[in-house]
């Protein structure tokens, strides 16, 4: 977390964009590979394995999305600044 205090807003924005792009590539790969696996599974006469891959990988994809949505928890994050401003406002009332 100390690393964030030494970076510029541009560097933080670039890192955030890289994280979002990484998630999008992860999602696209998930769709392409799982479509192929389901196709192969159905062609072989049953549903033997594709759902296990989809479920397991889907859990990992959900955690990746959660990491993107939750974001960083340092003092430079917009969420922290918003909450700090709310606290300061409630103290003045």
**What's the first-to-final CA gap in the chain, in angstroms?**
32
Q: Dump pLDDT digits (tens) for 52-75.
A: 999 999 999 999 999 988 876 666
- Assess if residue 8 is contained within a domain: no
> How many domains does the chain divide into?
1
* Tens-binned pLDDT, residue by residue, of the chain (93 aa): 444 455 777 887 888 899 999 999 999 999 999 999 999 999 998 888 999 999 999 999 999 999 988 876 666 677 777 888 888 888 887
Residue 7 placed within a domain: no
Domain-located, residue 64: yes
The answer as to whether 20 is a domain residue is no
Q: Which two tokens stand for residue 65?
A: 């999305």
C-alpha distances in Å from residue 43, one per residue of 58, 67, 89: 22, 36, 62
Report the predicted TM-score, pTM, of the whole model to 2 decimal places. Answer: 0.72
């Amino acid at each position: 977390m100390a690393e964030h205090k030494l970076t510029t807003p541009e560097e933080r924005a670039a890192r955030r964009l890289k994280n979002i792009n990484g998630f999008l590539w992860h999602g696209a790969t998930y769709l392409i590979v799982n479509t192929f696996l389901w196709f192969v599974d159905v062609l072989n006469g049953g549903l033997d394995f594709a759902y296990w891959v989809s479920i397991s990988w889907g859990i990992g994809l959900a955690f990746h999305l959660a990491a993107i949505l939750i974001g960083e928890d340092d003092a430079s994050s917009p969420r922290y600044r918003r909450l700090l401003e709310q606290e300061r406002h409630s103290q003045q009332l």
